[in-house]
Copies of this chain bind each other. A is one copy, B any other.
């Protein structure tokens, strides 16, 4: 009788192996072969889960997005958190400030670059960013309605400005600014925004 295999768990384990390879050696090192080695499975076993490198990358990105969403959700208290605090948590979880968010931040940056040369990845990366943007826009619109943000503000412009804060990532990665300085910039931005 064949052994019962937990497919989702195995796929997640492979995604984590991919992240470790990308984190250590960069995106171009993440081939089917190196990821199989890192995950301690045979190439044949890996191909059972992902037929192509692209399938593997696509899954790894979806999984990264899910993990980021989970981290944000875990840090939030649905009853108590203000829109200000929800945005702060979402932005800081996208910045390379801790090992987990650093891994997903690098993966996202690499994914955007890879997507420029691959239409399927491009579609997926674009959709992920559009979904994230829509969530931020909804929070900002609700905050304007609730009088937490001035009604003079254009919700679309302010949404793009909040998402642009992920542009602090290279400054943090290359030790140009400290994590504390990055948080100060995020806080100043949100404090300016949340002015009735």
Contacts and interface: CB of A to CB of B under 8 A. Distances in A.
Interface of A: 24-28, 106, 109-110, 112-117, 122, 125-126, 129-130, 133, 154, 156-158, 160-161, 163-171, 173-177, 181-182, 184-185, 188-189, 192
B112 A110 contact: no
A164 B157 contact: no
Contacts of A169: 167
A141 B182 CA distance: 19
B174 A164 contact: no
16 contacts: A25-B117, A26-B117, A27-B113, A109-B113, A112-B173, A116-B173, A125-B174, A129-B174, A133-B177, A154-B188, A156-B181, A157-B188, A161-B188, A163-B167, A164-B165, A164-B171
Contacts of A165: 161, 164, 167
Counting chain B CB atoms within 10 Å of each CB, which of A116, A133, A157, A189 scores highest? A116
A133 B177 CA distance: 10
Nearest to A167: B167
